[in-house]
Amino acid sequence: MREYTPENITDAVLEQMSTAPDPRMKEIMESAVRHLHAFARDVNLTPAEWLKGIEFMTKVGQMCSPARQEFILLSDTLGLSALVNIMHDKTKMEEATGASLLGPFFRENTPQFEKGEQIARIDKGGSEVVLHGRIANASGEPLPGAQVTVWQTAADGRYDIQNSMEEIDCRGIFRADDKGNYLLRTVRPLGYFIPLDGPVGQMVMAQKRHGKRPAHIHFLISAPGYRELVTALYLSGDEHLEDDVVFGASGDLVVEVKANDPASPVKGVPSIHFDFCLARESEADRRAGRIGADPGQL
């Protein structure tokens, strides 16, 4: 009868799992087991500590609802979402705008707007800002009709969905015009704390991290034949650009709010200008999927 030891148990598990018919599933599971076992050996994990880990993951699962995805938050705060994003970004067929996190506040249920319309309920306050620019491909050709979905915090530093599932504010879908230009009005977003009232927040606070994201505006941009772009623009000057709690901010996505930009189509309102570039879509892109999802769809 075989005897398991810390040294041989990993191979025993891999041997038993070797019958898995799906080769990609087999590869992923084998690697996960190898790394999990190595981790347990590395820290000499005790039964009490592993039980604490299981309790933690149980609480993460129990916190999930159609309005809240604590597992995405866990993946984000561990830098795993950013890692998967960065690796995926490197597989694009040509140079294009870099990706950033979708985050847990994206909603499929987003209203359509006409070019130039305001997406924020300005009766709630906040300083108005214009967003404008061009959507083009890697050869610089405009992409008329490209769909531009935006979402961000309102003037109180919260996403609409954090108030109620029914509230819709500071999110909208626009279309690029026949020259590939997009234009919308919003309010200046604020930096915010990620949701800290659950197990992931407890972890972040136990690690003495600040738990904040720098001010940003999310974008999801798509056009037929091009890889969907999930990204965000980060406002220059924010104190947490360098230590975003979810590792999403990067230098190529930092923008300035300009008081009087002569290039802005709207005069007298501060503006942000950013031109987006989409990479052509490959066969593999169609299978890779989006990183993150509307929690209501999971």
Return residues touching ligand BEZ (CB under 6 A).
73, 76, 101, 103-105, 194, 213, 246
Burial 258-293 (b: 16+ CB within 10 A, else e): eeebeebebeeebbbbbebbbbebeeebeeeeebbe
Closer to ligand BEZ at the Cβ: 75 or 137?
A: 75
Size of the site for Fe ion (CB under 5 A): 1
Closer to Fe ion at the Cβ: 136 or 249?
A: 249
> Does 104 interact with Fe ion (rule: CB under 5 A)?
no
Which partner in Fe ion, ligand BEZ, none is near 246 (CB below 5 to 8 A by kind)?
ligand BEZ
Q: Which residue is nearest to ligand BEZ (CB)?
A: 103
Closer to ligand BEZ at the Cβ: 134 or 171?
A: 171
Angle between helix 70-77 and helix 199-206 axes, rounded to 10 deg:
20
Q: What is the dihedral of CA 211, 213, 214, 216, to 10 degrees?
A: -160
Contacts of 27 (CB under 8 A, 6+ apart): none
CB of 220 vs Fe ion, minimal distance in Å: 12
Which partner in Fe ion, ligand BEZ, none is near 101 (CB below 5 to 8 A by kind)?
ligand BEZ
CB of 194 vs Fe ion, minimal distance in Å: 9
CB of 257 vs Fe ion, minimal distance in Å: 17
Contacts of 236 (CB under 8 A, 6+ apart): 254, 255, 256, 257
DSSP per-residue letters across 2-23: ----TTTHHHHHHHHHTT-S-H
Contact 14, 33 (CB under 8 A): yes
CB of 84 vs ligand BEZ, minimal distance in Å: 13
> Does 292 interact with Fe ion (rule: CB under 5 A)?
no
Which residues are at the interface with Fe ion (CB under 5 A)? Answer: 103
